[in-house]
Structure 1
């Protein structure tokens, strides 16, 4: 391993490798060093697109983080999946590729006081730069998705597929939702996600797109990537970050900048271990404060969700997938085909995901909405800002559920948007080997419980009355009719953000400026989701 580099990037996950490649190519006279704490993954079995909902359960790909007991969720300790190794969470995410609403980025710009974060100013262009859209918009497929080619990128490093394959059952589900009254959205990534559409996905030709896969073949002589390189501390010369320290005590010097890309859970942990954070908190763990920055680890935000699993009396749209999953021999046989060339039914099932972004009737009249500050109220009333998402035809929950003979199964995921509760990431101790303490603090704000309660109401109405579904509805796997269901079943969406948030200089909780530079320190930036001042849709 080299001892010095111009730029040292801590982390080799979803954002890190793209950033490293871009830096190395744009600055050929500068050296870039990527340090990933986990291993590489030469075994490509996790790349099968069929396993988009199951990769999170592989211990070789996940760090196994667990939250602290959550008092408002029946004291449950909740698994919080975080990708381990080169590629990070791009190895285990659900592969949905969705920008969010243009209004998210316009509001982001308002929060941080910088118009360069506006949708039309630069954000839309940045998405186009990193992506290559693969679209099969021919014949009847334009009924389900019809994005404008000029609105998307075609030469970026990240492969995105949209209806390259059409899974049996998806047209049926789409038609049911439209007949029910949802507006068809031909491009969920247009900046206006409202209505129902087919989600683009991060896979191509049967294989998951990961940042490790993307970086393969894009390395240059001035870019070095090391795995199993655990960083435990950033070293400072007064206020200047000049080096990082590995688990075995080795010091690696950054001649220009240290860039943290360890993710929303481990970036604050590393800052705190380095003496950057709330001074009083640091001293309780025997850590000498290097820089008082009280927002480190605070403001942890996420989407949340529950899944309504329902049984029906007769064949419904997803029966082909359900029958395939029940035949383990057939699944293995098609896995063998996939291993050869990425084809077969395992490359077809789970290839499409329908998503609907909707508003909740009557939300603006509730006491919970009226209790929000004026800026949030104004934002939530904008035309392209949804209150919740319906995920239609996703994974079987629980995965062990066996569909009884003679019945059909249908999962409906309900995702809460614009959650107001904020959690915290803290140190368990001064020992870098200890996992961080993750307090999700879900439902601590009454608005969130209102959104989830009303979302479940709307989801039940869809399942019980939609044409082609309601007449065949039998029962829910778990009864969703009481708030107890939410407290027992609510889960993260694993979009953790905000723990080193971007903000104006006078925001005492802000950790970075609009160029990702850490306030009060030199040569240190953060470039991961921990900087988000809000959670994009």
Structure 2
């Protein structure tokens, strides 16, 4: 019979949940670690491991398929918010991008919470601990070579994986003034860097593959309703969890919430930790009145564009029979990540317009010279775009906000754990976000359409009926109008149980004992880059804090 007792209960078997469980067990094999995961175990499903079915996983049974409420800043649209519903979480359905934010991102985090452990230097040992970096000549102060997650570049993953547009695209960015950065994953991310990924020999590295769960108990399809508390010496102490089906599990030491930026605040509120007005509305007794639970939601909002290639019979993009070697499908089909700063003459007026809503530390951080605020990827495939053939005739760009200043809210719709959280992402709400994304989009069009390097390769933008075409000379208003009607997020939500407001710098939930959070919800500020490198480092540091507190 399944034991209902454990030393540590981890709510959510996603990326951070698997990493925390694995490291706790490795560090102290005597510990009884239990993961409670709402989704299934996908380890025997081949479509989660390789590239060709990659985009079909979004919207599948392995996806929570959340949706936002209608967004007034994006023409009233309801946006999908994809999140992994499986053991491994987002690492099972993501595209494998591996990047750290700029050092300035983490240093801003450390200043906001007053703790250098969350600065870039403070997190660096945990970045190194999590990775096995492909380039053994890389700086050992910056990179790890024996960690569980294998990190590679596109060109290093397979000698046959040489995309024809690799050098022309790099040259186009250099032509318009961007600088080549030989290691964009070392605290200085600005410039043109090789796109890094966590695929290993063409296979996805789900968190449970990278971080061994040997000896860790897992219960899947276990939707957690709430944490439960006992009184001890006048304190509320988390003692166990109640599942939606009525089962109970008791924790001898701690409960660690790792259910993600949308589900963790929901579990907190259902447990009685959150805004008392919301809790009372749904008949939930208040344990801790904290109006910040669910607030501070941020995401990496983006503009995607399609471009038609000249003479695609030359074999320039996936779908062409000339790119049929399996090496080309060993990961995301791209070569470069281009991280750009925004000129002060563009950024400063936007900051002044946002002055009432931006914390002074945030404004100062945005203006750090050279700090990248927007990323562009050029994909050699019209990835996941409905009704667009994958025939080698088109490529796609993604222009993504790295440190969005717009903030949304996650709340609950009822007292039931099986109802989806209410997500109001509030995309594209600030003047800073508008100025940044417009600048990045304009620069991307300049690189693709106005450079000698690409004039013989890219014909022009492909637009949907009813959408006006853009160029690098289009007005800010024209770019803004396009972003409002077509912009989408990269599905990197964070911040909803922020450090300093909901959890302390040791990840402990304020107002109670024996309850921590270790996932993207703890990020108090926007962190650039694709989140998995940051989140693995968070998990590694969380383990140190948990064991020190035993």
Identify the TM-score tier after normalising by the shorter chain: 0.7 to 0.9
Is the 1:194–1:384 Cα contact (8 Å) retained in structure 2? yes
Following superposition, the deviation at residue 219 of structure 1 comes to 1.1
TM-superposition CA deviations, 1:429-476 (whole Å, max 9, x none): 112111111001112222212222222222222222122323554332
Following superposition, the deviation at residue 193 of structure 1 comes to 0.4
Go from structure 1 to structure 2 and tell me whether the alpha carbon gap of 1:53 and 1:173 turns closer, same or farther (over 3 Å shift).
farther
Mapped partners of 1:403, 1:347: distance in 2: 17
Q: Unaligned regions of 5+ residues in structure 2, if any?
A: 464-468, 529-550
1:76-155 matches, within 5 Å, as 76-120=77-121, 122-135=122-135, 147-149=138-140, 151-155=142-146
1:227-266 matches, within 5 Å, as 227-238=220-231, 239-266=236-263
Go from structure 1 to structure 2 and tell me whether the alpha carbon gap of 1:324 and 1:349 turns closer, same or farther (over 3 Å shift).
farther
Go from structure 1 to structure 2 and tell me whether the alpha carbon gap of 1:19 and 1:476 turns closer, same or farther (over 3 Å shift).
same
Is the 2:227–2:271 Cα contact (8 Å) retained in structure 1? yes
SS of the residue corresponding to residue 197 of structure 2 reads coil
Following superposition, the deviation at residue 323 of structure 1 comes to 0.8
Mapped partners of 2:435, 2:415: distance in 1: 39
Q: Unaligned regions of 5+ residues in structure 1, if any?
A: 138-145, 335-343, 504-509
Is the 1:173–1:317 Cα contact (8 Å) retained in structure 2? no
Mapped partners of 1:319, 1:440: distance in 2: 37
Aligned CA-pair RMSD: 2.4
1:19-30 matches, within 5 Å, as 19-30=20-31
SS of the residue corresponding to residue 129 of structure 1 reads helix
Go from structure 1 to structure 2 and tell me whether the alpha carbon gap of 1:316 and 1:295 turns closer, same or farther (over 3 Å shift).
farther
**Normalising to structure 2: TM-score of the pair?**
0.86
Go from structure 1 to structure 2 and tell me whether the alpha carbon gap of 1:214 and 1:366 turns closer, same or farther (over 3 Å shift).
closer
Q: Aligned residue for 1:219?
A: 214
Is the 1:9–1:261 Cα contact (8 Å) retained in structure 2? yes
The counterpart of 2:379, out of the listed 374, 379, 393, is 393
Mapped partners of 1:132, 1:116: distance in 2: 22
The counterpart of 1:378, out of the listed 348, 354, 364, is 364
Go from structure 1 to structure 2 and tell me whether the alpha carbon gap of 1:185 and 1:454 turns closer, same or farther (over 3 Å shift).
same
User: Bigger CA drift: 56-65 or 250-259?
Assistant: 56-65
TM-superposition CA deviations, 1:212-251 (whole Å, max 9, x none): 22244x513xx21121122111111131110101122111
Mapped partners of 1:346, 1:414: distance in 2: 23
Aligned pairs, how many? 502
1:67 aligns with 2:58: no
**Normalising to structure 1: TM-score of the pair?**
0.88
Q: Aligned residue for 1:506?
A: none
Mapped partners of 1:455, 1:528: distance in 2: 29
Following superposition, the deviation at residue 149 of structure 1 comes to 4.9
SS of the residue corresponding to residue 106 of structure 1 reads helix
Is the 1:464–1:471 Cα contact (8 Å) retained in structure 2? no
1:428-447 matches, within 5 Å, as 428-447=413-432
SS of the residue corresponding to residue 132 of structure 1 reads strand
SS of the residue corresponding to residue 321 of structure 1 reads coil
Mapped partners of 2:80, 2:321: distance in 1: 28
Q: Aligned residue for 1:517?
A: 508
1:452-467 matches, within 5 Å, as 452-467=437-452
User: Bigger CA drift: 368-377 or 231-240?
Assistant: 368-377
SS of the residue corresponding to residue 41 of structure 1 reads coil
The counterpart of 2:340, out of the listed 353, 358, 376, is 358
Go from structure 1 to structure 2 and tell me whether the alpha carbon gap of 1:227 and 1:178 turns closer, same or farther (over 3 Å shift).
same
Mapped partners of 2:5, 2:450: distance in 1: 64
SS of the residue corresponding to residue 214 of structure 2 reads coil
Mapped partners of 2:315, 2:102: distance in 1: 29
Q: Aligned residue for 2:498?
A: 501
SS of the residue corresponding to residue 41 of structure 2 reads coil
1:293-304 matches, within 5 Å, as 293-304=290-301
Following superposition, the deviation at residue 259 of structure 1 comes to 0.4
TM-superposition CA deviations, 1:275-326 (whole Å, max 9, x none): 110001111112111211111111100111011211233349971424149x
Q: Aligned residue for 1:274?
A: 271
The counterpart of 2:184, out of the listed 177, 181, 188, is 188
User: Bigger CA drift: 258-267 or 195-204?
Assistant: 195-204
Q: Aligned residue for 2:14?
A: 13
Q: Aligned residue for 2:545?
A: none
SS of the residue corresponding to residue 391 of structure 1 reads strand
Mapped partners of 1:20, 1:278: distance in 2: 30
Go from structure 1 to structure 2 and tell me whether the alpha carbon gap of 1:176 and 1:27 turns closer, same or farther (over 3 Å shift).
same
TM-superposition CA deviations, 1:8-37 (whole Å, max 9, x none): 100100111110011112123321111111
Q: Aligned residue for 1:419?
A: 404
Mapped partners of 1:309, 1:447: distance in 2: 25
TM-superposition CA deviations, 1:53-110 (whole Å, max 9, x none): 5154251221111111111211111110000111000011121110111111111110
Mapped partners of 2:32, 2:347: distance in 1: 56
Go from structure 1 to structure 2 and tell me whether the alpha carbon gap of 1:148 and 1:351 turns closer, same or farther (over 3 Å shift).
farther
Go from structure 1 to structure 2 and tell me whether the alpha carbon gap of 1:19 and 1:394 turns closer, same or farther (over 3 Å shift).
farther
Mapped partners of 2:91, 2:76: distance in 1: 30
Q: Aligned residue for 1:37?
A: 38
1:167 aligns with 2:162: yes
Following superposition, the deviation at residue 398 of structure 1 comes to 5.3
Following superposition, the deviation at residue 384 of structure 1 comes to 4.5
TM-superposition CA deviations, 1:479-519 (whole Å, max 9, x none): 2452221111111111111100001xxxxxx0001100011
